[in-house]
Amino acid sequence: MTIPRSRRSSMAAAKEHAWLDALAHWDQSVKKRKKIKKLGRQGIPESLRATVWCKLAKVDEIKKPGLYDGLLAQRDDAIFDIIERDIGRCFPEHKMFAEEGGPGQTNLRNVLRAYALYNPEIGYCQGMGMLAGVMLMHMPPEDSFWLLVSTLQNVLKDFYTPVLLQLRRDAAVFEALLFKTSKRLARHMDTQEVGPLMYITQWFLTVFTTSLPWETALRVWDMLYCEGIKPLFRIGLAILRINRDFLLKECPTNAEILSLLLHLPKDHLDADNLVKNSLKVKIRKKDIEQLRTTVAQIDIPDRGTISLIKRKKK
């Protein structure tokens, strides 16, 4: 159903007013987590997105004046060559980053170099460029740097280690949740040897930026900062839920399954519809935390995956 333009304008104004009110009374607002979650699921207005993301990520608590510029003054680190290979691959069709050597690419390069020097244990990992790119579309380079720092040390902690530790653990968590919420589809994918790591790597490491329509991806980012990691699982499971019948009936092999999941059809993936479907996925934050605790107790090899489901069968 198409919403009349006048009503869309009224809804947008009401949303902006709600966020402005939350920002004006921030100390009280952050204590009302249900309200923040509800607002996040409706989407943060573009005009306020940078401010709200940084507030929710508590950037002001970690920001150190002068540190970013000091990091940029350092030169010739070996990691810079690896970063350079990916600069042109990050949003090459976006006007901000399209010009080789232009201001957008320069800012992206600076943010990634600064982070690599700030956190040498992680340095740089593919996927981080997409995160930094989205941040730069919304805020200045130094703010983007500190938001990246906060994001990677909190909500996406250990996702970008050299062995992608938390991502691989969360693939096992995702598989367990898929068996809980859609057992038939989970069995079909397991039979075809399509494990979650094969597709959530693209989904999670870019926070769905390369997988979903742009406005939908930004809604997922809004929810990530408002709620934490849970929306990534919910959105991923909702995508499978929306495409379940097609996957079961039209994708008999792993090649066809992966082709669909890595090149998602845009039908039914508009922001409101996907969020609505994600809220039908009945999982709790407690479920994710318990599964993460269980997986963390398992020794994970440097390569390969683990499966709680297969371990139960043994």
Q: Select 165-313's CATH number: 1.10.472.80, 3.20.20.70, 3.40.50.10490, 3.40.50.261.
A: 1.10.472.80
The percentage of the chain sitting over the pLDDT mark of 70, rounded to a whole number, equals 96
Crossing angle of helices 230-242 and 214-227, rounded to 10°:
140
Q: Exposure string (b/e) for 245-279, b if CB count within 10 Å is 16 or more?
A: eebbeebeeeeebbebbeebeeeebebeebbebbe
The reply to whether CATH 1.10.8.270 applies to domain 67-153 is: yes
What confidence score (pLDDT) does residue 29 get? 87
Taking CA 283 as the corner, what is the angle to CA 244 and CA 158, rounded to the nearest 5 degrees? 95
Query: How far are the Cα atoms of 208, 211, 224 from residue 155, in angstroms, in the given order?
Result: 15, 20, 8
Percent of the chain with pLDDT over 90: 84
Q: Where are the alpha helices (DSSP H) in 154-267?
A: 165-181, 183-191, 197-205, 214-227, 230-242, 244-250, 254-262
> Rounded to an integer, what distance in angstroms lies between the CA atom of residue 15 and that of residue 61?
27
State which amino acid sits at residue 73: A
pLDDT for 80 beyond 70: yes
Mean pLDDT of the region 279-284:
95
pLDDT tens readout for residues 23-39: 999 999 888 889 999 99
In this predicted model, what pLDDT tens digit does every residue of 239-267 receive, in sequence order?
999 999 999 999 999 999 999 999 999 98
Confidence class for position 78, pLDDT limits 50, 70, 90: confident
CB atoms within 10 A of CB 200: 23
- The more confidently predicted of residues 8 and 244 is 244
d(CA 205, CA 236): 12
